[in-house]
Structure 1
Amino acid sequence: MKKGFLLAIICICFSCKLKTKSDNPETTTTTPRSGFTKVIADTLLTEKISIRAIAADSNRIWYAGNNGKYGYVTLDKSKTFTGHVAKDDLKLEFRSIAQTKEHVFILSIGNPGLLYRISKDGKHTALVYAEKGEKVFYDSMQFWNDKEGIAVGDPVENCFSLIITRDGGESWTKIKCGALPEIAAGEAFFAASNTNIIIKDTHTWIVSGGKKSNVFYSPDKGMTWKTYATPIVQGEAMTGIFSAAFYDEMTGFAVGGNYEKPEQNFGNKISTADGGKTWKRIAEHEGFGYGSCVQFFPDSKGQELLTVGASGVFYSADQGTSWRKIADYKDLFTLRFMDSKTAVAAGNNKIIRFRFQ
């Protein structure tokens, strides 16, 4: 979504309980997670960059950020790779990243929208899709498999923008509005953490925000769509769903709220048990305020959740009914799990690893 996100976001650095003065901080804090007694946090990357899109690739974390930057870091810190995309005099900002077995794809926000395919050895970069227009603004991208991928953007007509590849990302086709649900006036998407699109097998969910906040669901990899309403706070430009996750085809969770009222901790968390058809508010007036990203713990039977956002890093052991802060970082924007005991989060000038023990 353009408003508030196309402009550079000024991030105020707060003191963090897990931070130390060393260049490679590592410290421990207790956590209430069942079967775990502590969380160890350490820094994988420190650089002048805003990162809102990461992808887990074996022992590597790929990232995409502002100023045309992208790259990866390894979990053992033995290797890093930094790339840069330059296009005319544009200041490219990448808020979406996705991958296949051989390539990484990064997609810029704003006009023009530029989608690049990068070989994982870093030797080859190709522009595979470009779209110009005053309203062009792509927010999120994912792949179903090594051949089929999808990216979503704000509406330029009376539907959301949707591009799909069926050939491994070599070419992308924009879907016509006649094949997509209509979108309400003032409804769009947030390029907050590259988690607007959620994929489980052939099932796909896309979450929106703004004046309306809906879930668009496709059972067949983007061929057909249905629209489901949500009860999350909405009605203003910077309200609605900013991130969602599904543990399986039925169990889902979404966070967001009011970006302009980051401490407001009601109407900002919703859950579903029927594949996104119906949602309910949960943990009202409890836990965190504005949430930028939410993810399920792998192998947790859909019980355990982790979020990052303006209030810090929060954990739930009961499907979001109750929450406990486990770290005070307030400038992390996105996160992914490497396995059931390791999560990686990225944000303002950093990539942090959390190890649950």
Structure 2
Amino acid sequence: MKKILFFALLLWTISCKNEPKVIELEAVQVDSRIDIAIEINDIMSDTIRIRALDYANGDYWFSGSDGQYGRIEEATGHIEKFKVTLKEDQSIEFRSIATTELYTYLLSAGNPALIYKIAQSNNVVKLIYTEVEEGVFYDSMKFWNDQEGIAFGDPIEKCLSVLKTLDGGTTWKKVDCAHLPKFIEGEAAFAASNSNIAIYKDHVWLATGGAAARILHSTDRGSSWEEYATPIVAGGMMTGIYAIDFINEKRGVMIGGDWNKKADNLHNKAITSDGGKSWKLMDAKNGPGYCSDIIFIPETDGKELLAVGSEGIWWSGTEGVLWKKLTDIGFYTVRMVNSKEGYLAGRNKVSKFKLY
């Protein structure tokens, strides 16, 4: 089904008398698109929840609940779906996916934690990691290349779980608690969109939630770490940072909020220009409340952002200064490989979209 929505870039605010006021944008306009439209085409309807998307070699890969995953040929839209089933008929939920030049990796959420390695050339699937422990729950996974990868999860014992491989997943090793920033009781992470890890060259950033909303940052692919405070709302079980994205070692963006108060857009989105050491909150008068994913739109030099959540999709052409809601249709996660096209995934669906 096709859905087309158009808007002019105007910001609506509410005055003290609760009367709408239109504010012109000339003072903040940057070299970006000033009018935008989104066209959404649902290409797959299913019973699964899809929270993870990635892209490699002309294919979008997705993973979700009930052990299901698949790939979409970008050129043709052809979809292949697959399923992993445990012998004991236990349901698997894949909330994390990572693609490299040759392989696709799937990571399950919950106990047991399972990582599968899929050869993209012939679809051969191999179980390469198993972790059975009460409380284990991984939230996100990324790979720098075919050999080096990292996964991030909720705390076990006295620190957050950070898992690394240097040999393409043949072996995995947890980062010792002594090498991570001091754990804050009640801090965890969210497996909402496979987006609370960001990597760029040797850098990796991890985003937390719950009792604290912090960034853990490494400049050497996870060998050493430092921590940064953020202004994102924290203190509740469902508060904190849900997604981050970086376009270089300095410029990054984050979004989250309170899942229980999705309309609240105060203290839920911020941007950094120093690698995450400091963050500037985006104006709460406009823009999205709770969202599960955010990206810098490719080929726009960081000026354009797309935020996605269960309450809809928002676009900014002013580096997050001003936002416009594109649609009320909700999704969990988004990926784009150019400035015009990409895929969205959510509950029971995958959709292709275009920006005009």
1:34-93 Cα shifts (integer Å, max 9, x gaps): 166533221222221100001112332100000000011223445221111111221100
Note if 1:72 corresponds to 2:71.
yes
TM-score, normalised relative to structure 2: 0.90
Show the counterpart of 1:343.
342
Q: Which has the larger radius of gyration?
A: 2
> The residue matched to 1:178 in structure 2 has which SS?
helix
Contact 2:111 2:131 in 1 (8 A): yes
Question: What letter matches 1:270 in structure 2?
Answer: A
Counterparts of 1:1-357 in structure 2, within 5 Å, are 24-25=1-2, 27=4, 29-30=6-7, 32=9, 34=33, 37-87=36-86, 88-330=88-330, 332-357=331-356
Identical-pair percentage: 40
Question: What letter matches 1:340 in structure 2?
Answer: S
Show the counterpart of 1:9.
none
TM-score, normalised relative to structure 1: 0.90
Q: CA deviation at 1:170?
A: 2.1
Contact 2:245 2:295 in 1 (8 A): yes
Show the counterpart of 1:17.
none
Q: Give the distance between the partners of 1:152 and 1:229, measured in 2 at CA.
A: 18
Task: Quote the RMSD (CA, aligned, Å).
Answer: 1.5
- Name segments (4+ residues, structure 1) moved above 6 Å: none
Q: CA deviation at 1:217?
A: 0.3
Aligned residues: 333
Contact 1:31 1:326 in 2 (8 A): no
Q: Give the distance between the partners of 1:26 and 1:75, measured in 2 at CA.
A: 20
Contact 2:5 2:326 in 1 (8 A): no
Q: Give the distance between the partners of 2:287 and 2:259, measured in 1 at CA.
A: 16
> The residue matched to 1:160 in structure 2 has which SS?
strand
Sort the Cα spacing of 1:169 and 1:89 in 2 relative to 1 into closer, same or farther, 3 A. same
Contact 1:106 1:117 in 2 (8 A): yes
Segments of 5+ residues of structure 1 without an aligned counterpart are 1-23
1:251-277 Cα shifts (integer Å, max 9, x gaps): 111100000111111111111111100
Segments of 5+ residues of structure 2 without an aligned counterpart are 10-31
Contact 2:94 2:108 in 1 (8 A): yes
Question: What letter matches 2:2 in structure 1?
Answer: P
